[in-house]
Chain A
Amino acid sequence: MVQEIVHPLSKYLRSAMMPHIWCPGCGNGIILNSFVQALDELQRDIDKLVVVSGIGCIGRTAGYVNADSFHTTHGRPIAFATGVKLANPELEVVVISGDGDLFAIGGNHFIHAARRNVGIKVICANNFNYGMTGGQQGPTTPLEASTTTTPYGNIEHPFNLVHLAAASGATYVARWTTLHVRRLTQSIKRMLQKEGFCFIDVISPCPEIFGRYNKMPSGLEMMEWFKKASVVENFSDPSKAEITPDKIVVGEFVDAEKVSYERLLHEKIAQINEKWMER
């Protein structure tokens, strides 16, 4: 008798949305896998989970997770997630989006949500370019990298996302590559158990576009770069967490305790109402 084999994590995915749109060798599937693995290990109530994505290849993630999910305009998932989290703090609100979405067009929302310490969890698939539109330079494209809009080499300095997140006030900051699947899953679990704004920068391969333009035209070659260059430096200075051809500093950088915006807000509301009751 032939038995249908069901993947133990498939219950977290919307089968109607499959197959996914991602290219062979793309890291987005690894990030999605780590995310649902973390949900499974924590035995989270999926009815209380909201997954929000912006625009880009990774932006389709919201639709792939079988939870309440929303696919926003370009750059706005954090602003949307802020509204959701404040409206119903009981919900676990996770933003999964890309480097261009979160840090170019959406950069303002990122720094302000981190500053306010809104309790949303942000996972960035950082693939150094705009994959969906065909490989243009973005806010994390390394210096001298070749893209369709930097054909002579990139002269813009990239953002160091973990430094930016730490400086903006995030309570949890980590960076892993998609090679570090178990560590990434552990980081997502850690993040999901924290209060306040949390951020994970996931260095993710885009071999079909970024890789082709930069002498790493297969997923394997990009993963080999991650393997060769990655150095775990837990709780080192995030301002020095470089990403160069020779060195990718990964690890956890911030793990702080700070009261979330939504808790302060609701405590304030309670105080105001107590004051009124006393009068």
Chain B
Amino acid sequence: MTKKRALLTGVHFVSGDIACAEGAIAAGCKFFAGYPITPATEIAEHLAERMPEFGRIYIQMEDEIASITAVIGASYAGLKAMTATSGPGFSLMQENIGLAVMTETPCVIVDIMRGGPSTGQPTLPGQQDVMQAKWGSHGDYGIIALAPSSVQEMFDLTIEAFNLSEAYRVPTFLMGDEIVAHMWEKVVIPSVSQLRIVNRKKPHVEPDKYEPFMPEDDLVPSMACFGEGYRFHATGLTHDEYGYPKTQSSEAQSILVKRLCEKISKNADKIIKVEEVMLDDADVVVVAYGIVARSALNAVRRARETGIKAGLLRLITLWPFPEKHVARAAKQAKAIIVPEMNCGQMVREVERAAKETPVRFLSKLGEDPHTPTEILEAIRRGI
């Protein structure tokens, strides 16, 4: 008697989209709502097959606005929930990403970036949504965004995205790109005991004492869910610790919005992950993320072979921005190279953190990311 398993421990050869879907399953995602869009559709297709196999919910909604909003509803009903999309759908979701921020809803949004603006180049890669991830919804807030560089990371960082969203009660983005999503590579799925799974904090007070938006020491409130007897209210309006609207109070606005920013910024050291390669003595540092970081790694190694002290700072966390890591690398470097598949987005953050160290930007648009040779040329020019 066999039963399908939620965790396919072992070695697999799959696409990034499938790895992401399996990562969601491994993380305990019990609700997926989405809408077809290239190049993220395979995540939905895979989950449509896999989720019902162990009693979890898959639904295709009428659009991306409905998808993210249903995800927020499912999360408030107590389930870990996710949606997956690409640029156009990510744009449609922005208002309700703000709702998820304001109501402190744990949820994961996968954005497989393609060429924009507008319909752009649906089947080609891009890194053009990384600033939208930070600033896409109106108002001020903190969010978390991760950038996978491999199919393995499409699996690993999907789990990490769930863990962070649950820990900080914040929508968390997995900012993949068309190449890592459609590329097939080896993925190692660990055993249950090797997985680290984080669940949201539950209230430890009686329902009549519960304040749904009262932060604890880490600035994150505990979270009751619908049907548990707490009878709480949540709203997209500015609210107090009880969740009651405070639309005329400057004080309530200041307390709430500052906390929404600070629960991410003050926990940034715990959230941020980077990969540092040969940075100790690096004269030239390449700061890259996503698929581009793989070309950058090759370029850095080739530079070392020719005697150039090059290093790579790979941003695994895009937001909150790893500015301390960039500042540290910039302190000793003579130049920083930032290759991106856009017209210059994360490079602005790198420039801010690098202070006086000159930063060179390498833009690439369309089908292919930067070749290692292109980045190597920039490294040579940098010294």
* Alpha-carbon distance between A67 and B228 when the two chains are bound, in angstroms: 11
Q: For chain B, which range describes its interface: under 10, 10 to 19, 20 to 34, or 35 or more residues?
A: 35 or more
What 0/1 readout, one digit per residue, does chain B (1-15) give for beta carbons within 8 Å of chain A?
111100000000000
Which of A42-50, A175-183, A246-254 is the contact stretch? Answer: A42-50
Check B245 for interface membership: any CB of A closer than 8 A. yes
* Alpha-carbon distance between A67 and B52 when the two chains are bound, in angstroms: 31
Asked if residues A109 and B236 are in contact (CB atoms below 8 Å), the reply is no
* Alpha-carbon distance between A170 and B121 when the two chains are bound, in angstroms: 39
Kindly list chain A residues whose C-beta atoms are within 8 Å of the C-beta of B31.
Answer: 83, 86-87
Asked if residues B236 and A84 are in contact (CB atoms below 8 Å), the reply is no
Kindly list chain B residues whose C-beta atoms are within 8 Å of the C-beta of A109.
Answer: 62, 66
Kindly list chain A residues whose C-beta atoms are within 8 Å of the C-beta of B242.
Answer: 16
B3's nearest neighbour on chain A, judged by CB, is: A276
Which of A1-9, A69-77, A152-160 is the contact stretch? Answer: A69-77
Partner of B230, one of A68, A80, A90: A68
- Min CB gap B129→A, angstroms: 21
In the complex, which residues 1-59 of chain A have their Cβ closer than 8 Å to any Cβ of chain B?
14, 16-17, 46-48, 50, 52
Check A214 for interface membership: any CB of B closer than 8 A. no
In the complex, which residues 81-110 of chain A have their Cβ closer than 8 Å to any Cβ of chain B?
81-88, 90-91, 108-109
Asked if residues A83 and B231 are in contact (CB atoms below 8 Å), the reply is no
Which of B77-85, B149-157, B263-271, B329-337 is the contact stretch? Answer: B77-85
- Min CB gap A72→B, angstroms: 7
Which of A191-199, A205-213, A265-273 is the contact stretch? Answer: A265-273
Check B21 for interface membership: any CB of A closer than 8 A. no
Asked if residues B99 and A72 are in contact (CB atoms below 8 Å), the reply is yes
- Min CB gap A215→B, angstroms: 32
* Alpha-carbon distance between A176 and B157 when the two chains are bound, in angstroms: 52
Check B72 for interface membership: any CB of A closer than 8 A. yes
Asked if residues A47 and B52 are in contact (CB atoms below 8 Å), the reply is no
Check B361 for interface membership: any CB of A closer than 8 A. no
Check B71 for interface membership: any CB of A closer than 8 A. yes
Partner of A71, one of B62, B71, B236: B236
Check A66 for interface membership: any CB of B closer than 8 A. yes
Asked if residues B72 and A87 are in contact (CB atoms below 8 Å), the reply is no
What 0/1 readout, one digit per residue, does chain B (187-228) give for beta carbons within 8 Å of chain A?
000000000000000000000000000000000000000111
Asked if residues A83 and B52 are in contact (CB atoms below 8 Å), the reply is no
Partner of A80, one of B62, B72, B98: B72
The binding surface of chain B is classed by DSSP as mixed
- Min CB gap A32→B, angstroms: 15
Asked if residues A91 and B52 are in contact (CB atoms below 8 Å), the reply is no
B236's nearest neighbour on chain A, judged by CB, is: A73
Asked if residues A71 and B52 are in contact (CB atoms below 8 Å), the reply is no
Partner of A88, one of B61, B66, B77: B77
Of the listed residues A84, A272, A277, the one surrounded by the most CB atoms of chain B closer than 10 A to its CB is: A84
* Alpha-carbon distance between A17 and B232 when the two chains are bound, in angstroms: 12
Kindly list chain A residues whose C-beta atoms are within 8 Å of the C-beta of B244.
Answer: 16-17, 63
Check B167 for interface membership: any CB of A closer than 8 A. no
Kindly list chain A residues whose C-beta atoms are within 8 Å of the C-beta of B231.
Answer: 46-47, 66-68
Of the listed residues B70, B98, B230, B245, the one surrounded by the most CB atoms of chain A closer than 10 A to its CB is: B70
B57's nearest neighbour on chain A, judged by CB, is: A86
Asked if residues B52 and A268 are in contact (CB atoms below 8 Å), the reply is yes
* Alpha-carbon distance between A66 and B207 when the two chains are bound, in angstroms: 12
Q: Given A68-B226, A70-B76, A76 and B3 touching (CB < 8 A)? A: no
Asked if residues B2 and A79 are in contact (CB atoms below 8 Å), the reply is no
* Alpha-carbon distance between A68 and B228 when the two chains are bound, in angstroms: 9
Kindly list chain B residues whose C-beta atoms are within 8 Å of the C-beta of A265.
Answer: 57, 59
Asked if residues B69 and A88 are in contact (CB atoms below 8 Å), the reply is no
Asked if residues A73 and B234 are in contact (CB atoms below 8 Å), the reply is no
Asked if residues B69 and A83 are in contact (CB atoms below 8 Å), the reply is yes
Q: Given A17-B244, A87-B77, A276-B53, A70 and B3 touching (CB < 8 A)? A: no
Kindly list chain A residues whose C-beta atoms are within 8 Å of the C-beta of B230.
Answer: 68
- Min CB gap A44→B, angstroms: 13
* Alpha-carbon distance between A269 and B103 when the two chains are bound, in angstroms: 31
Q: Given A273-B55, A277-B3, A82 and B73 touching (CB < 8 A)? A: yes
- In order of increasing CB-CB distance, the 6 nearest A-B pairs are A83-B73, A83-B70, A87-B77, A71-B235, A79-B69, A87-B74
Binding site for A on B (CB under 8 A): 1-4, 30-31, 33, 52-55, 57, 59, 61-63, 65-67, 69-79, 81, 95-96, 98-99, 103, 226-237, 242, 244-245
